[in-house]
Structure formats: C-alpha cells, structure tokens
C-alpha cells in the first residue's frame, strides 16, 4: 500500500479500506434513495418506464413492480456489506441499461422525465443525467475491482461476520 518513502500512492489510496467502505455505503445509499419514491408510487414509475418507449408494453408494469425492490435490496446489501459482489454486478448491469436508455432517448430528442430518483416532476433528463449515471457506474466498477483483490479487506462489512463475501 505504501511506497518506499512512506507516502501512499494512487493504488494505496484506491485500495484503502476506508475509501472502500465510503464508496460502498455511498453507492448503497444512492440506490436506496432512488428506490423509495418508485416503491411508494408504482403507478407513476410504470408511466415513467412506458414513456421511455423501450420496454414492450406487457413488460412495463412488471419492471415497475420489480425494479425498485431490486435497487432497494442491492442498496441495503451494499450498506450492510453483505453479498457485495453480487449486488455490484447487478447495479453495474442496471446502470449500463439506464445509460443506454437515457442515451437513446436523448438521441431521439424525447423530452421525458427521467424517473431516476423521483417518479413525478417537471425536470426532463439531459446530458447531466447521463454523466451522473456514468459517475455511479465508475463507482460500481471501482468497487467491483476492489472486491476482486483478495488482499483488501473492506471495513464495516457484515460479510466478515458471516464469512461470505
């Protein structure tokens, strides 16, 4: 972790257990927060999914029922530090899907509400929505990389209690 002169290098910082725990809890909280309004208003979230005009009509409500709970569960597991690799794998996949959906609709010029954190509102998605999700994807990929390094032990993780990571 430390270089010869005692300073911590970039890899040292990136593999620092405290940085890892902050990144994990941050990404977990983002997805828990993102899921709450969708869970509260499934009908509005279904409309947001339909407005993207990407999912087949028969899949719109199924996505609206299931997706918020997937986000919530992954977020909770990340905060607790349990099944972290599985959660990150799902969230990375979800973020790729979100980025594609936003990118396609920005390219189409559709003026629709993102439905990312709130199901209702007048704020249309824009290029910043794309960059925001991209930053979350980088965070997820960083965590994925971090958890592949066997020597790194991220702190405050229930998986250490249950010996399941």
Partner 1 sequence: MSRSLLQAVAIILLSGTIGFAVNGFRSDGIPWVENWQEKVLNEQLTGGLPAVSVKEAIEAHEGDYALFVDAREPDFFKVGHIPGAINLPVKDFDGVFPTVKKRLLAAPRIITYCDGASCEMSVELTEKLLFAGLERVEIFTGGMQQWKAAGQKVVRGP
Taking CB under 8 A as the rule, does residue 32 contact partner 1? Answer: no
Taking CB under 8 A as the rule, does residue 122 contact partner 1? Answer: no
Tell me whether residue 50 or residue 136 sits nearer to partner 1 (CB atom): 50
Give least dist CB 147 to partner 1, A. Answer: 8
Tell me whether residue 70 or residue 99 sits nearer to partner 1 (CB atom): 70
Residue with tokens 């969230």: 91
Contact residue for partner 1 among 64, 101, 102, 140 (CB under 8 A): 64
Taking CB under 8 A as the rule, does residue 43 contact partner 1? Answer: yes
Contact residue for partner 1 among 23, 27, 37, 50 (CB under 8 A): 50
Binding segment toward partner 1, per CB under 8 A, in 9-17, 23-31, 72-80, 121-129 = 72-80
Structure token digits, residue 150: 């066997």
- DSSP-derived letter for residue 1 is -
Helix%, strand%, coil% for the chain, nearest 5: 70, 0, 30
Structure token digits, residue 65: 């029922």
Let me know: does 64 contact 70? Beta carbons within 8 Å. no
Contact residue for partner 1 among 31, 34, 52, 72 (CB under 8 A): 72
End-to-end CA distance of the chain: 22
Tell me whether residue 51 or residue 130 sits nearer to partner 1 (CB atom): 51
Give the dihedral sign, CA 11/15/19/25. positive
């Amino acid at each position: 972790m430390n270089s010869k002169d005692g300073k911590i290098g970039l890899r040292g910082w990136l593999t620092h257990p405290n940085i890892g725990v902050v990144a994990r809890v941050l990404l977990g909280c983002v997805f828990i927060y993102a899921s709450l309004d969708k869970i509260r208003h499934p009908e509005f979230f279904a409309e947001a999914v339909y407005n993207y005009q990407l999912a087949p009509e028969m899949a719109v409500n199924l996505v609206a029922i299931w997706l918020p709970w997937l986000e919530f569960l992954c977020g909770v597991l990340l905060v607790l530090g349990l099944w972290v690799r599985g959660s990150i794998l799902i969230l990375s996949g979800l973020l790729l899907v979100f980025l594609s959906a936003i990118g396609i609709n920005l390219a189409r010029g559709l003026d629709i509400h993102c439905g990312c954190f709130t199901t209702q509102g007048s704020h249309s998605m824009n290029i910043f929505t794309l960059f925001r999700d991209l930053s979350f994807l980088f965070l997820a990929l960083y965590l994925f990389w971090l958890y592949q390094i066997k020597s790194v032990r991220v702190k405050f993780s229930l998986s250490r209690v249950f010996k399941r990571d």
